[in-house]
Amino acid sequence: LLHAQSGEESTIDFTPEAMEKMRGAAVFSHNHPQASSLSPDDIVLGAKLDIGEMRAVGRLPDGSVVTYSMRYNPNQAPQNFVGRVAVEHDRIGQEVFGEFKARIARGQLTVAEANGTHWHEVNGRLAERFGMTYTRTVKAR
């Protein structure tokens, strides 16, 4: 354990000293009380701190535990990697939003389903784009 810290319901702020302690860590694991996928800030922080794997763990309404994981590509060219990840994450996020909006309009997807899967879809596409490995695992209660 390199660092332990509590935060607000949906955010946590790290001091520069805490970030330096975490730099290069094999795994950065944290909770997501709403059981949502990794956020854009999670993805960029992992890239910025050269983390091997970023994880978010939460509990689904049925009591199952869901874990989202992004393993960064160690062979990724480091030049402006953080900036490229951030820009591409935004671009893919807008693309998925447009697709989901159209599917909702056609009655193929509910707003709740779109909200629950948006970042999961974005992160899968981002991982593919950068040669990273993204997974979602659910362990029954």
Give residue 17's pLDDT.
87
Separation of first and last alpha carbons in the chain: 26
Amino acid at 16: P
Q: What pLDDT is attached to residue 86?
A: 86
For 19, the token pair is: 């970030």
Contacts of 76 (CB under 8 A, 6+ apart): 130, 131, 132
Parts of the chain with a pLDDT under 70: 1-11, 76-79
pLDDT reported for residue 8: 63
- CA–CA distances in Å: residue 6 to residues 10, 11, 42: 11, 9, 15
pLDDT for position 80:
75
pLDDT of 111 reads 95
What digits encode the pLDDT tens for the residues 43-62? 988 888 888 999 999 999 99
